[in-house]
Amino acid sequence: MSTTESTLASAKVAPVTIMMKDLRNEAAVEPAPVSTSPVTKETQIIAIYGKGGIGKSFTLANLSYMMAQQGKKVLLIGCDPKSDTTSLLFGGRACPTIIETSSKKKLAGEAVAIGDVCFKRDGVYAMELGGPEVGRGCGGRGIIHGFELLEKLGFHEWGFDYVLLDFLGDVVCGGFGLPIARDMCQKVIVVASNDLQSLYVANNVCSAVEYFRKLGGNVGVAGMVINRDDGTGEAKAFAEHVGIPVLSTIPANDDIRRKSASYEIIGRPGSEWGPMFAELAENVGTSLPMRPKPMSQDELLGLFSASSVGRDVVLEPATQFDMCGKTESKKETLEVVYDEV
């Protein structure tokens, strides 16, 4: 082998050898010992899921406000691309989102600071992850990017009693299932009403929790909040069937509807609805993550009367005449059939 060929061969081998040595040296480093010091504060991270428009933001704004009034340090994070979780808390004002702020800061060559994305009112800290504009990106990817930025800002070092995550439940992509899939929260709460679509979403969330529990996950469902309860009982029956408690029942009430539409917090101590949210705050804090038993589609439909969900409908197969307006002509097959010996 010539000197030139030998040099080229060495140049190809050297980087690989150096990389292998670096990997071995890294693997030989002993990990830091597990801390045995007492825990100074245990943060409950709770993901709240529900169908869009079911009242998650209303529930969370009042719940977080009541918790803060009870002396708890609370962080509310909106993970819905609509970015409306904090609108009730801030009297209808839009909160700058993490994704939008991050993009602007990046273009300006600046780093994102806590004060750029986190705002507070009467002891409640709140922020919105946000999402891309319609047709311009993946909402789930926006969620992942938002949490990556939160980790850079020191999310795991913040000393909150409660971190409440508001997630859209009727989106099935991986980004919205992040807290369940990666054990980023200890428990899940579902918000639903006495209608099929919201219970369908609640059942899907229970199915996701059960799926990841089978894979070794630790997240459980801590219960359900029944919003706009009209007394028909389907949501309560669902909770009993899947094995989760009802944490609170918020009635379908005109006073609640009007005040919510006017961006008014009703979860205040001493107010008419204060005791209801005080009880909810207590139940949320003490509820335990449970392993749910999701319902099948037929079982879910069975919660409702046949006339309201169409169980009496018979599936009638379509024909070729329905499709083309003519009867299908029978054509001989080209398959070769051998006689049995």
Residues designated catalytic: 51, 56, 82, 170
Close Cβ partners of 299 (under 8 Å, ≥ 6 residues apart): 241
Q: Considering Cα of 11, then 15, then 16, then 17, what sign does the dihedral take?
A: positive
Is residue 172 within 8 A of residue 52, CB to CB? The reply is no
CA angle in degrees (0–180, nearest 5) for 314-316-320: 175
Cβ atoms within 10 Å of 302's Cβ, excluding its own: 15
Distances (CA, A) of 300 to 13, 61, 109, 130: 62, 30, 52, 32
Kindly tell me the burial class for residue 22, based on how many C-beta atoms sit within 10 Å of its own C-beta (0-12, 13-18, 19 or more).
exposed
Could you give the residue ranges of the DSSP H alpha helices within 182-263?
196-214, 234-242, 254-261
